[in-house]
Structure 1
Amino acid sequence: MSGALIGYGRSSTTEQEAGLEAQRRDLTAAGCAKVYLERASAVSERAVLRQALDYVREGDTLVITKIDRLARSTINLWDIVRGLDAKGVGLRVLNLGGETVDTRSATGRLILTIFAGFAQFEREMMLERQREGIAKAKAEGKYTGRKPTARAKATDALKLHAEGKTPTEIAKALGIGRASVYRIIQGAAETATA
């Protein structure tokens, strides 16, 4: 049964728009009939990925440009692959060591497993170097950390909330996360009742 190619691309919120557009271009060039794109970090809830996984049907193939755009770890990758398998859907990675890999073949699964392991190892090494750099900067008194943007905008968030704006509208207006808005509102309510 031959199905559709469905593309999924993701960039973290800190990445450039160009990275997401490059994924769109590559997925469209690969023949994807529908392309799902989102801006979300690998550790956050990825609602658009959920939509793509719900959309694909038996015989379809989910297409991604690179493993790290889909999964945050080897275990997470194989959870997604198992879910796709259960629906009769394949996974195709366009750029895996310069090759296109499809999970519908045993060789494709082996290559995917090896590269997923390397990708996870590389990410863990990067995080370890980052932690070491932060520790060194702290020891030298040069590290101040990221400015707490949500807390700095708490007054504005509460003002907008008092005006009847929804948390989603407030988050968009102030450029902060919706969860931060909920925390600000909840913290203000707890202070008021204390």
Structure 2
Amino acid sequence: MRVSKADGSQTTDLQRDALLAAGVESKALYEDKASGKTDDRPHLAACLKALRSGDTLLVWKLDRLGRDLRHLVNIVHDLTERGVGLKVLTGQGAAIDTTTASGKLVFGIFAALAEFERELISERTKAGLASARARGRSGGRPYKMTPAKIRLAMASMGKKDTNVSALCKELDITRQTLYRHVSPAGELREDGRKVLARK
């Protein structure tokens, strides 16, 4: 069982009643009060850990179990490998019962859609990167060090009264980043040369 808010404005009463009516023992009920998008769901983790081969995991609705389609597919794949079934009691996923042939077929379609979604995202990412490269842009995070920062660091580090901590704060870099590019005497290092060589 799961509700998104832990402030008491939502209850699991409806889910609890449905699961008990379906034959789940009260001691085998697990309840989380967290958004479906969060990874931190300790009772779901405990439930999945407690399942043994031959067991069936019952959920009220499919969206009570997973964050998204890919997450659901991964959970069910793991359960299937362990010999555990999944049954959805109501809602859009009510046709899913992986202990039956038709339920396996329905979930197989879900899995195929998730794989298709992964492929589409991968293709779009690759196409976007190729398009950016064709326009002279490269992907990834922007560099912390710029040619202007390198020159300022070289000039400052060459002076004996320079406060290194203040300089790093001014340049918005760490001490390690500074020393990787410029020596304590203000001399250019290999990484610094690479930055200056970039256009």
> Could you tell me the TM-score, scaled by structure 1's length?
0.50
Query: Which of 1 and 2 has higher RCO (CA within 8 Å, sep 6+)?
Result: 1
> Could you tell me the TM-score, scaled by structure 2's length?
0.49
Which structure has more strand as a fraction of its residues? 1
